[in-house]
A and B are shown apart, each in its own frame.
Chain A
């Protein structure tokens, strides 16, 4: 058992660090909360693409870096430590693995390069108003007519669909069989006539998610991944991938660092807040949970490196990872005090919100992050998965 990094791995870390130090500052905005335009979101993606580093987990033949699990881990750590904006997962980490694992050659040739370059922005057409936790009960219908499917229905909670070029959709192609056995995986061009995107504003004022309506949308059969009615397998495959990316250990480490900075700056009767017992212990408690999670993730990675795939155990990463993320935002609001009150989105780009810079958006982030225990399979569902698939209950 060995948890140190080798000299080669440390050299790799230095290369990554240098690249980030040279390139990240060239981006204007780096905080997701400040992003407004498509280009804001794509800035970092384009830089990594030029370097050849935008898809470390892809097979080399499609544009992956060929890094081993440890190198990928180091890369994630370094980018999170530098607070580089997180890449959007829908194209790179969700639909692309489905395409290169289950798609045909034409689909690989057509879609993968454009996902890699960022030329195509993808969104995820899974949830529906009536199909949240019970995704398999989805109703958006696709009827085969010659060499097209005609799609009718509605998707919801579609992240950043307002910028999307393509949507990967789970649709119902057979309503007479067991639900999971009548689902098909379609790739749909967002410019197809009949598609409407409607914003959903969330409680901190952000426009991140949308409703997507399909009104007699014609989708060519060649945009179907795999066989008709076999889409649920790909959906599950993708959901497990979604889960293991979600521990967010490196980013939470950074968030704790920021919280400590706030704790050092906030004064309680002339003494830094972080020097009060109560606050110091709360931070320590969360940091310790995170340390444990880090090793849980490393153990999972070690298993992956040996060839076995993350299965239901990745539910722990999702549950603990999101609970820790949320806890950090809670502590941040506690640390900030009264300057949590001003509504950060009210202040324009050229205005400074009142109070210290670290206070701005603190409450908004806390409210926004309540989604983390709901999305990606709610934490209740994840506990159910562990109960059933791991503990055999």
Chain B
């Protein structure tokens, strides 16, 4: 039983941590998030130069040969700094689809580009009617000669305003919610017929509503076999869930530390409010939530390579733990900071918003409790 990190992973953590401490302070996050386009191309390039995109990808395709643990290390640091740059959608989701199901040509083209930081990929899967069901699709892809023709609408595509490529889930056969008939494509965002409506999100990111009107997608852009992509989507999104779990852990650690420090310095009734037992126990509860979340982030990361059921249960467990703990730690950090916690000026509210929206992404607590229970 070994929970230690390799030397490379420790070096990775230190280099990310140092870079962010110097270049991505809270005021930097605010500036980047609130200045068009809402992310920093310079930062993205620096991430590539630090080898962050390459770290978890296969050496044969420009990666450094690491895996999910490297992603976990990077994402915790990103969570601590409120990094907005689309690492998960590009490296974990984009990289994940090609790694698991890409053709040799696709791997050569895309994994190398991803590792080098030369592409930004957004994942267009959610639809207005579908809630958290990946198979609920009105977006269709109809084979037409050497192409597929894409028609439909995707909702809240995070990072789409910044992306050059979209990974799009679409129905190639079957009824609206059939498990069979789901396919995945990589689509050039500049393709004729792709329209986007960009907007900022409440937690400091940017997203688009994306519509596809008779978009011609080369058959070579299909990832994996047609009609059979649902299991692939579940696998890749479970990997994304592991990454976001670690991001949430980073955010919770910052909130816990900030709250403990604040209550030690904030004096009311002649004493630091950290002296009040009610608040001490509240912070202990925040600590336990944070530790349980860190544990579940380890668990899901380490179980990603297990069989389908084991992996799904781990991912759903992570979503449930992070959802509940993220809510508690976020809410209580605001509460214990009093009025200050409510301000836009202080960092606390921003971590709270991030944690709240991470619960929605890829299914909230209720959705995953059900998935977990249904898996037996």
Min C-beta distance of A275 to chain B, whole Å: 13
Contact (A380, B202) CB under 8 Å given A333-B360, A338-B126, A371-B342: no
| Complex-state Cα separation, A127 to B131, whole angstroms | 43
Q: Which residue of A lies closest to B156 (CB)?
A: A338
| Complex-state Cα separation, A127 to B338, whole angstroms | 12
Assess whether A133 is in contact with B268, with CB atoms less than 8 Å apart: yes
B88 at the interface (CB under 8 A from A): no
B203 partner residues in chain A, CB cutoff 8 A: 341
Assess whether A156 is in contact with B343, with CB atoms less than 8 Å apart: no
A201 at the interface (CB under 8 A from B): yes
A266 partner residues in chain B, CB cutoff 8 A: 131
Contact with B along A191-223 (1 / 0, CB 8 A): 000000000111111000100000000000000
| Complex-state Cα separation, A265 to B335, whole angstroms | 32
The 7 closest A-B pairs by CB, nearest first: A203-B349, A134-B268, A201-B344, A338-B156, A341-B201, A343-B200, A354-B209
| Complex-state Cα separation, A346 to B279, whole angstroms | 36
B209 partner residues in chain A, CB cutoff 8 A: 354
B334 at the interface (CB under 8 A from A): yes
Contact (A355, B155) CB under 8 Å given A134-B269, A370-B342, A374-B339: yes
Assess whether B207 is in contact with A342, with CB atoms less than 8 Å apart: yes
B85 at the interface (CB under 8 A from A): no
Residues of B343-375 whose CB lies within 8 A of A: 343-345, 349-350, 352-353, 356-357, 360, 364, 366, 369-370
Report the stretch among A10-18, A180-188, A360-368 that lies at the interface: A360-368
B132 at the interface (CB under 8 A from A): yes
Q: Can you offer 17 A-B residue contacts whose CB atoms are under 8 A?
A: A130-B267, A131-B268, A132-B339, A266-B131, A267-B131, A268-B131, A268-B133, A269-B131, A269-B136, A341-B156, A341-B202, A342-B201, A344-B202, A367-B356, A370-B341, A371-B342, A374-B334
Chain B residues within CB distance 8 Å of chain A: 126, 128-129, 131-133, 136, 155-156, 158, 177, 197, 199-203, 205, 207, 209, 267-269, 273, 276, 278-279, 327, 331, 334-335, 338-339, 341-345, 349-350, 352-353, 356-357, 360, 364, 366, 369-370
Residues of A259-298 whose CB lies within 8 A of B: 266-270, 273, 276, 278-279
Residues of A337-356 whose CB lies within 8 A of B: 337-344, 346-347, 353-356
Contact (A204, B202) CB under 8 Å given A134-B268, A337-B360, A374-B338: yes
| Complex-state Cα separation, A342 to B126, whole angstroms | 14
Assess whether B155 is in contact with A338, with CB atoms less than 8 Å apart: yes
Assess whether B338 is in contact with A133, with CB atoms less than 8 Å apart: yes
Q: Which residue of A lies closest to B278 (CB)?
A: A380
Min C-beta distance of B205 to chain A, whole Å: 8
A373 partner residues in chain B, CB cutoff 8 A: 335
B364 partner residues in chain A, CB cutoff 8 A: 334, 337
Assess whether A343 is in contact with B201, with CB atoms less than 8 Å apart: yes
| Complex-state Cα separation, A66 to B357, whole angstroms | 49
A371 partner residues in chain B, CB cutoff 8 A: 339, 342
Q: Which residue of B lies closest to A330 (CB)?
A: B327
Which of B177, B202, B273, B331 counts the most A-chain CB atoms under 10 A from its CB?
B202
Min C-beta distance of B285 to chain A, whole Å: 14
A204 partner residues in chain B, CB cutoff 8 A: 202
| Complex-state Cα separation, A273 to B343, whole angstroms | 33
Assess whether A340 is in contact with B202, with CB atoms less than 8 Å apart: yes
A268 partner residues in chain B, CB cutoff 8 A: 131, 133
Contact (A374, B341) CB under 8 Å given A337-B360, A338-B126, A367-B349: yes
Contact with B along A281-321 (1 / 0, CB 8 A): 00000000000000000000000000000000000000000
Assess whether A370 is in contact with B335, with CB atoms less than 8 Å apart: yes
A75 at the interface (CB under 8 A from B): no
Min C-beta distance of B177 to chain A, whole Å: 6
Partner among B128, B199, B205 whose Cβ is within 8 Å of the Cβ of A346 = B199
Assess whether A355 is in contact with B338, with CB atoms less than 8 Å apart: no
Which of A337, A363, A366, A380 counts the most B-chain CB atoms under 10 A from its CB?
A337
Contact (A341, B335) CB under 8 Å given A133-B268, A134-B268: no
Assess whether A278 is in contact with B156, with CB atoms less than 8 Å apart: no
B343 partner residues in chain A, CB cutoff 8 A: 200-203
Assess whether B202 is in contact with A342, with CB atoms less than 8 Å apart: yes
| Complex-state Cα separation, A93 to B349, whole angstroms | 31
